[in-house]
Structure 1
Amino acid sequence: MKIYDSLSDDLTRFIHAQPLFLTASAPTHGAHVNVSPKGMSSSHLAVLSPNRVSYIDRTGSGCETVAHVYENGRLTLMFMSFGPSPRIMRLFCRGRVVEHADPGFRAAVDEIVAVRSRIAGEAGPEARSVFQGARAVIVGDIWRVTTSCGFAVPMVRLGATAPADAAEGDEGADGGAVVRAFQERDVLDRYIKGQVEKGIMPRYQRDNNSYSLDGLPALKAARRDGGESLLWADVRARATRLWHEKVAVCVGFLLAVLVYRVGSILHLL
């Protein structure tokens, strides 16, 4: 394993060349550790600087990453090579959330699109600038980068050319067997577009994105649409976290009392 403090040009190119990445996050005291796969083109992840990345978080049935980042800011992103040169890369980040209702959301999206457009200008698919159902931008401030060999990750082999509806194992145009490589799905785009056109996206977010599996507050806009008091919910979540840390709180209180008593005795002497 190699450890870096930031991303080099080589590591940045590696990130932008991958078709997918994984996000990992966890609550401070809850039972769930969340791992989510993301398509690079649908999430539009971009390296903004040697120590900063961001990606567009589109509406889904869960909201774990947003809730966890709000609570403790811990975020890990993982990339892996599926080609002949093996590599696994992890970005350990301090995350933050820019929701679609926040004043800085449009600027955060434009910053990502600018980077992706530059990459597309060099080589790659055209960068899109409109993302229906985008509920937030997740920004990761990188404090550590690690790379490892990645020999356990399988390669994706490019097989024969064939029509899009050909099944794996069919004979391709050049006579070889068709072996599937990565292909983008348009289901999410079509589903979200339908929700937006019907005007039911806010209700969907309210029902599915207000809280995490561990009951942590998640998307603020969804909670606000549900008529919640954000302050009360956040105070309740903070109180719950302190309750889980009651041993540390008690030890700290006892140490403070001990220091006070020792100080009083020394003052009398």
Structure 2
Amino acid sequence: MGKLFTAIEPDHEEFINMQKMFFVGSAPLDAEGHVNLSPKGYDVFRIISPTEVAYLDLTGSGNETSAHLDENGRITIMFIALEGQPMVLRLYGKGQVILPGTTRWEELIGKFDPIPGARQIIYAELHAVKTSCGFSVPFFQYEGERDTLKKWAVVKGEQGLVNYHREKNSTSMDGIVTPIGRTLGEPEGVID
């Protein structure tokens, strides 16, 4: 039932644009390291071209995807139909982390609505798009976005977010330094 494509087709783009959430998967090179799978909400995903996508990454309690992409670039992004016709759509690619203050950030940030707590853009060049049935994915009804993260980021303020990034987003749980970590310096309390 699965079909493999080399790029996002118009019906894939329509499907992606209807979804209210997506999932991002990444892993370190070390086979003993932790595989990461992160859910993403808000209107942060953009299709740049049939083989390029990006999403505005918001501050979170970890920064695993950033560490993994910086180390090896491997990324999978998955969308699932929680209403309507069943389908699972996966985007496979080579990703990179784009930090504020860079030329690439300035080129891409205008594609996104401003959201408090934005820490980086995750950009990916795709080498495969795969669809599968999604017959076992249950129906869920969308009720709206949570505003907790946005409120939290506003209360933290700019310097509070920088401090949080230094403390919580500078290394992965496997000790891989993230691009944010290199920019901000060694996080406090990290043990070699």
Structure 1 stretches lacking a partner, 5+ long: 114-128, 158-180, 229-269
Structure 2 stretches lacking a partner, 5+ long: 188-192
Q: Is the 8 Å Cα contact of residues 97 and 179 (structure 2) preserved in structure 1?
A: no
Is residue 179 of structure 2 the alignment partner of residue 219 of structure 1? yes
Aligned CA RMSD, in angstroms, stands at: 1.5
Query: What is the TM-score when the length of structure 2 is the normalising length?
Result: 0.91
Structure 1 residue runs of 4+, over 4 Å off?
Answer: none
Q: Secondary structure at the match of 1:147?
A: strand
Instruction: Supply the distance in 2 between the matched residues of 1:92 and 1:226 (Cα, whole angstroms).
Output: 31
Bigger proportion of residues as helix: 1
Shift of 1:133: 1.7
Q: Secondary structure at the match of 2:103?
A: coil
Match of 1:15 in 2: 16
Q: Is the 8 Å Cα contact of residues 166 and 186 (structure 2) preserved in structure 1?
A: no
Bigger proportion of residues as strand: 2
* Correspondence for 1:32 among 23, 31, 34: 34
Cα displacement string for residues 91-123 of structure 1 (whole angstroms, at most 9, x for unaligned residues): 00110110113232132111x33xxxxxxxxxx
Q: Which amino acid in the other structure matches residue 11 of structure 2? A: D
Q: Secondary structure at the match of 1:152?
A: coil
Larger Rg: 1 or 2? 1
Is residue 108 of structure 2 the alignment partner of residue 148 of structure 1? no
Match of 2:164 in 1: 204
Is residue 114 of structure 2 the alignment partner of residue 130 of structure 1? yes
Number of matched residues?
A: 185
Matches within 5 A, 1:1-269: 1-29=2-30, 30-41=32-43, 44-110=44-110, 112-113=111-112, 129-157=113-141, 181-196=142-157, 199-220=159-180, 222-226=181-185
Whose relative contact order is higher, 1 or 2, with alpha carbons under 8 Å and at least 6 apart?
Answer: 2
Match of 1:173 in 2: none
Q: Which amino acid in the other structure matches residue 185 of structure 2? A: G
Instruction: Supply the distance in 2 between the matched residues of 1:227 and 1:82 (Cα, whole angstroms).
Output: 41
Percent identical among aligned pairs is: 36
Shift of 1:12: 0.5
Shift of 1:227: 5.7
